Amino acid sequence: MKKMFFLAILLFSYFQMSQQIQKTTGNGKETLSNPRLMLVQGTLNVMMNQNITLSCHSEYGSPPVTYTFFKDSQKVTTLHRPDLTPGLFNLTINAASDVGEYKCKAENNISSGRKYSNSLHFTLIEPISKPVLSSPTSQAQKGQNVTLSCLSENGSLPITYIFFKGKQSISPPVTMQKKEAAVIFLFINSSSDFGTYKCKAENSFRNNTKYSNSFNFTLTEKFKSPRSSTGLTSTVNAEESENYVIYTEIEPVKQEEEYVNCSIIRREDQKEKSACATVYSKVFRD
Ligand SMILES: *[C@@H]1O[C@H](CO)[C@@H](O)[C@H](O)[C@H]1NC(C)=O
Ligand SMILES: *[C@@H]1O[C@H](CO)[C@@H](O)[C@H](O)[C@H]1NC(C)=O
Ligand SMILES: *[C@@H]1O[C@H](CO)[C@@H](O)[C@H](O)[C@H]1NC(C)=O
Ligand SMILES: *[C@@H]1O[C@H](CO)[C@@H](O)[C@H](O)[C@H]1NC(C)=O
Ligand SMILES: *[C@@H]1O[C@H](CO)[C@@H](O)[C@H](O)[C@H]1NC(C)=O
Ligand SMILES: *[C@@H]1O[C@H](CO)[C@@H](O)[C@H](O)[C@H]1NC(C)=O
Ligand SMILES: *[C@@H]1O[C@H](CO)[C@@H](O)[C@H](O)[C@H]1NC(C)=O
Ligand SMILES: *[C@@H]1O[C@H](CO)[C@@H](O)[C@H](O)[C@H]1NC(C)=O
C-alpha cells in the first residue's frame, strides 16, 4: 500500500516535469501568457475624433512578441516587440465603423504560442447639445398652471434632464429614452415663482453636462401682495424638492414686488417650439 502511494507521487512528479519540459522547448523558450487588452487613453464610450490608446500585453513568455489587434475579428494592425513590454496601438475614431469589439493576439515563435486577449467593446456616443428651456406661455398669473419643457436637440439617448429655479433643483432627474422634451408642471402661486428657471441635460458620456438658457415668467397683471409675507422662500413644489439630492446651491429668494415686473426674453426658436408642441397641448385645457 505504501509502495503504491510512493509510486503515485513519482508518477505525478514525472507528469509535472514533462509539462515543464513541454512549456520550455528546446531553446529554453516559453509560451506566452494570455495577453491583456487595456485602455491606456480614452474611454469605452467614445466621441467622433477621439483618440484612444490600447495596450496589449503578455506578461510571461519568451520574446520577441508579435501583437495583432482585431476589430470585430478583422485584423487592424500588427506590432513587434523585442521584449516583454506592451504593444501600444493608437486609434482615432473617424467613423462609426471604428467602434466595435477590439481584441488582440500575442505570438512568439513557438508554434503553440498563440494567445488571445479579453475583448473591449467601444460605443459611439454623440455629445449633448445645449438644451433649450421653453414654455408655451411666457406670461402667467397667480393660480395658473404652467409647463416648462427642456430638450437637447442632439446627443445620444438616454438623456437625463433636471429643472432648476435659481440654483435649486425643482424636479427629480427625468430620463428620456426618446428624442422628446422633458416636461414639468408648475403651479404659480407666489411671487417667488417668477424667478429664473434653467435646466440641465446629460447623457452617458463622461463630463458632458450642458445647461440651458434662462427662462422667466412675467406676471400678466400687477401682483397683489401675497397673503401675509410668510415664508414664501420656497420654490415650486418645495415639499417635493426637499427630497432631491441634487441641490448645488440654495439661493435665498428675494421677496420684492418689483421682482415680478421684470421683462422677459424668451429665447426659443421655432424649431424648438414645434418639437415640444405635442406635449404642450395636453396642459392648457383651461
Ligand atoms: C488625436 O491625435 C492626433 C494625432 O494623432 C492629433 O492631431 C489630435 O489633435 C488628437 N486629438 C485629440 C482630441 O486629442
Ligand atoms: C500614441 O499616443 C501617445 C499619446 O497618447 C503617444 O505618446 C505615442 O507616441 C503614440 N504612439 C504612436 C505609435 O503613435
Ligand atoms: C524566432 O524569432 C526570431 C526573431 O524574430 C527570428 O530571428 C527567428 O528566425 C524565429 N525563429 C523561428 C523558428 O521562427
Ligand atoms: C445638431 O446636429 C446637427 C447635425 O450635426 C447640427 O447641424 C446642429 O447644429 C446641431 N444642433 C445643435 C443645437 O448643436
Ligand atoms: C395643474 O396641472 C397638473 C397636471 O396637468 C394637474 O395635476 C393639477 O391638478 C393642475 N393644477 C391646477 C390648480 O390646475
Ligand atoms: C471629468 O471631470 C472631473 C472632475 O471635474 C475631472 O477630474 C476629470 O479629469 C474629467 N474627465 C475628463 C475625461 O475630462
Ligand atoms: C403654493 O403651492 C404649493 C404647491 O402646490 C403649496 O405647497 C403652497 O402651500 C402654495 N402656497 C400658497 C401661498 O398658496
Ligand atoms: C429673470 O429674472 C431675474 C430676476 O428678476 C433677472 O435677474 C434675470 O435677468 C431675468 N432673466 C431673463 C432672461 O429675463
Ordered domains of the chain (ranges, CATH): 28-124 (2.60.40.10), 132-219 (2.60.40.10), 222-283 (no CATH)
Ligand (nearest to CA of 206)? 6
- Nearest CA owner, ligand 6 atom 12: 207
DSSP designation for 261:
G
Q: What is the mean pLDDT of residues 139-147?
A: 83
Q: What is the mean pLDDT of residues 109-121?
A: 84
Query: Is the model's pLDDT at 136 over the cut of 60?
Result: yes
The pLDDT tens digits for 147-183 are 999 999 999 999 999 999 988 899 899 999 999 999 9
Q: How far apart are CA 145 and CA 185, in angstroms?
A: 7
Report yes or no: 222 and 194 within 8 Å, Cβ to Cβ.
no
Is 154 near ligand 4, meaning CB less than 6 Å away?
yes
Find which of 103-107, 112-116, 202-206 is predicted with most confidence, using mean pLDDT: 103-107
DSSP designation for 15:
H
Find which of 5-14, 51-60, 220-229 is predicted with most confidence, using mean pLDDT: 51-60
pLDDT of residue 106: 94
Q: What is the mean pLDDT of residues 198-208?
A: 87
Between the CA of 195 and the centroid of ligand 8 the distance, in Å, is 7
Q: How far apart are CA 127 and CA 49, in angstroms?
A: 12
Question: To test the ligand 3 pocket, which listed residue (109, 111, 114) has its Cβ within 8 A of the most ligand atoms?
Answer: 109
Query: Is the model's pLDDT at 229 over the cut of 60?
Result: no
Q: What is the mean pLDDT of residues 59-69?
A: 92
pLDDT of residue 189: 79
Banded model confidence at residue 9, pLDDT cuts 50, 70, 90:
low
Q: Which atom of ligand 8 is nearest to the CA of 263?
A: 14
What value does the CA radius of gyration of the chain take, rounded to a whole number of Å?
32
Is 241 near ligand 7, meaning CB less than 6 Å away?
no
Ligand (nearest to CA of 261)? 8
Q: What is the mean pLDDT of residues 64-80?
A: 95
pLDDT of residue 272: 32
Q: What is the mean pLDDT of residues 34-44?
A: 93
pLDDT of residue 177: 93
- Nearest CA owner, ligand 2 atom 11: 90
Q: Which of 20-34, 137-151, 232-246 has the lowest average pLDDT?
A: 232-246
Banded model confidence at residue 142, pLDDT cuts 50, 70, 90:
confident
Is 220 near ligand 1, meaning CB less than 6 Å away?
no
pTM of the model: 0.58
Banded model confidence at residue 30, pLDDT cuts 50, 70, 90:
confident
Which of 164, 140, 138, 166 minimizes the C-alpha distance to 150? 164
Query: Is the model's pLDDT at 217 over the cut of 90?
Result: no
Between the CA of 91 and the centroid of ligand 2 the distance, in Å, is 9
Q: What is the mean pLDDT of residues 131-155?
A: 89
Q: What is the mean pLDDT of residues 35-63?
A: 92
pLDDT of residue 53: 96
Using DSSP's 3-state secondary structure scheme, residue 17 falls into helix
